[in-house]
């Protein structure tokens, strides 16, 4: 199977190489931005699980270089379309078509990218090689955000907060659905706990989720700390995959809430009635488990007969986003005439599968030089 057959099967893979993105994931963030205007008023961002770095590239192009990508590109397209319609007489002559706002490099931009894997450097972005599930990562992040941060004396509150936390974290998928969804949810909780430590009030949090059983419980828990929680599926994310993104806006921590990685929040098991939701929003109760995880308890147990059973689950609105004329991520596409397949922009620096490839090469191919299966461990 040649390179160009992958170009054909995955239009976003081909486009990523043509437009200089390190990974096709860039389009997911661009399409989320089209819908949610994620970068509006944003200059300080943390990009979790960032390697090989296409989301960081989007941040760099929008915030540092002031390029017209994502929402700005979508606005340009809409503007030109309206001008065309007006010119051909489909719109009233005096219909006012407003020019999209200017995009320019922003001031005081700070972008910190974190991944377990090393990431090739990007201008203006601080890259950290660290595990987002480990408590030692938070002082590293705080130091990267604020060089004056002093681990011994400073508190989290003293460090400069950020406007937006992104997380595209994904474990190495095993194919065992329940296990994959569980490990993914642990990454999400780690990302959320980091976000709670650094987000400023009004801040945004965008993270990858796998939509599994009981995902609505997670939405209800997020709703305690964010005013709005939406589940979004960008067009570049395959419809056949359980992947989606939660887009949480207007961070509003309940009174007295203190983020801490010593007793991080974890998934609580309970749901509650609507009046209790309101109460929990201002004062969520917490249970500290023996393993140190704090469960954010949303209220009374479903089994409690005295509680009303209606309105107890909160379903987040679901939005398919990205221009409808954009490529379908599940379809095979006809390649343009004269198409020449390009190399990836930035191959992974140290992919976890490198050893497997080396071993395979040593054995002379997929099954070695011997008969099928012989010589394999
Ligand atoms: N957003 C990235 C981009 O645009 O290039 C792609 C991210 S990739 C889908 C998922 C990343 O999650 C991998 O690079 C992986 O190393 C990282 N990851 C998984 N578990 C992690 C952890 N515990 N801490 C930090 N990064 C992790």
Any domain includes 284: no
Residue 64: C-alpha distances to residues 56, 57, 124, 144, 216 (Å):
11, 10, 8, 17, 36
- Which atom of ligand 1 is least distant from the CA of 47? 1
- Which atom of ligand 1 is least distant from the CA of 56? 4
Any domain includes 365: no
**ipTM (interface pTM):** 0.99
Q: What was the pLDDT predicted at 108?
A: 93
Residue 274: pLDDT band (50, 70, 90) is very low
171 ligand 1 Cβ < 6 A: yes
Q: How many angstroms separate the alpha carbon of residue 51 from the centre of ligand 1? A: 6
- Segments forming the whole domain that contains residue 18: 5-92+104-268+315-346
Q: Whose CA is nearest to atom 15 of ligand 1?
A: 49
Q: How many angstroms separate the alpha carbon of residue 52 from the centre of ligand 1? A: 8
Specify whether 213 is catalytic: no
Any domain includes 248: yes
29 ligand 1 Cβ < 6 A: no
| Predicted confidence (pLDDT) per residue in 94-141, tens digit | 888 999 998 899 999 999 999 999 999 999 999 999 999 988 898 899
Q: Please answer whether residues 190 and 171 qualify as being in contact, where contact means their C-beta atoms are separated by less than 8 angstroms.
A: no
Any domain includes 58: yes
Residue 134: C-alpha distances to residues 38, 116, 175, 262, 264 (Å):
27, 11, 25, 10, 11
Question: In this prediction, what percent of the chain has a pLDDT beyond 70?
Answer: 77
Q: What was the pLDDT predicted at 151?
A: 63
| Predicted confidence (pLDDT) per residue in 282-341, tens digit | 455 555 555 555 555 544 433 444 544 444 567 888 889 888 788 888 888 888 888 888
Any domain includes 45: yes
Any domain includes 97: no
Q: Whose CA is nearest to atom 20 of ligand 1?
A: 171
- Which atom of ligand 1 is least distant from the CA of 166? 1
Residue 155: pLDDT band (50, 70, 90) is low
| Predicted confidence (pLDDT) per residue in 208-231, tens digit | 998 877 788 888 889 889 999 999
User: Which of 55-59, 83-87, 320-324, 362-366 tops mean pLDDT?
Assistant: 55-59
- Which atom of ligand 1 is least distant from the CA of 132? 24
Any domain includes 113: yes
- Per-residue pLDDT averaged across 18-42, rounded? 96
How far is residue 146's CA from residue 30's CA, in Å, rounded to a whole number? 28
Question: How many residues can be counted in the chain?
Answer: 377
212 ligand 1 Cβ < 6 A: no
| Predicted confidence (pLDDT) per residue in 52-66, tens digit | 999 999 999 999 999
Q: Please answer whether residues 97 and 83 qualify as being in contact, where contact means their C-beta atoms are separated by less than 8 angstroms.
A: yes
CATH number for the domain harbouring residue 252: 3.40.50.150
Q: Kindly name the residue from 28, 208, 233, 270 that is annotated as catalytic.
A: 208
111 ligand 1 Cβ < 6 A: no
Verify cis geometry, omega within 30 degrees of 0, for the bond prior to 125: no
Q: Which of 30, 115, 180, 351 to mutate to test the pocket of ligand 1 (most atoms within 8 A of CB)?
A: 115
Query: How many structural domains does the chain have?
Result: 1
Q: Which of 46, 116, 122, 184 to mutate to test the pocket of ligand 1 (most atoms within 8 A of CB)?
A: 116
Q: How many angstroms separate the alpha carbon of residue 114 from the centre of ligand 1? A: 8
Q: What was the pLDDT predicted at 74?
A: 93
Q: How many CB atoms lie within 10 A of CB 304?
A: 12
Any domain includes 121: yes
């Amino acid at each position: 199977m040649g390179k160009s057959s992958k170009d054909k099967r995955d239009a976003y893979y081909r486009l990523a190489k043509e437009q200089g993105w390190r990974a096709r994931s860039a389009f997911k963030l661009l399409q989320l931005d089209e819908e949610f205007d994620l970068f509006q008023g944003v200059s300080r961002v943390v990009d979790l699980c960032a390697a090989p770095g296409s989301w960081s590239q989007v941040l760099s192009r929008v915030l540092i270089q002031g390029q017209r990508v994502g929402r700005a590109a979508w606005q340009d397209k809409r503007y030109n379309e309206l001008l065309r319609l007006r010119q051909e007489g489909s719109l009233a002559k005096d219909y006012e078509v407003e020019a999209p706002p200017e995009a320019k490099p922003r001031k005081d931009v700070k972008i910190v990218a974190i991944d377990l894997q090393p990431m090739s450097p990007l201008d203006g972005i601080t890259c950290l090689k660290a595990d987002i599930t480990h408590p030692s990562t938070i002082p590293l992040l705080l130091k990267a955000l604020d060089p004056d941060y002093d681990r011994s004396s400073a508190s989290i509150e003293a460090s400069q907060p950020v406007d937006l936390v992104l997380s595209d974290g994904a474990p190495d998928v095993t194919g065992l659905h329940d296990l994959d969804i569980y490990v993914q949810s642990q990454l999400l909780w780690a990302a959320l706990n980091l976000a709670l430590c650094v987000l400023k009030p009004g801040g945004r949090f965008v993270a990858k989720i796998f939509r599994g059983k009981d995902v609505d419980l997670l939405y209800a828990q997020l709703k305690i700390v964010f005013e709005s929680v939406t589940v979004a599926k960008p067009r570049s994310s395959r419809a056949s995959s359980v992947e989606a993104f939660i887009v949480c806006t207007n961070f509003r921590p309940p009174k007295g809430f203190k983020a801490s990685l010593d007793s991080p929040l974890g998934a609580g098991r309970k749901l509650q009635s609507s009046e209790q939701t309101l109460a929990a929003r201002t004062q969520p109760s917490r249970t500290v488990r023996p393993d140190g995880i704090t469960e954010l308890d949303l209220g009374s147990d479903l089994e409690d007969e005295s509680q009303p059973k209606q309105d107890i689950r909160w379903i987040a609105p679901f939005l398919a986003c990205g221009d409808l004329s954009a490529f379908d991520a599940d379809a095979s596409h006809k390649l343009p005439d004269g198409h020449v397949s390009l190399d990836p922009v930035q191959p992974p620096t140290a992919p976890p599968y490198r050893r497997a490839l080396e071993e395979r090469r040593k054995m002379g191919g997929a099954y070695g030089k011997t008969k099928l299966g012989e010589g394999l461990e």
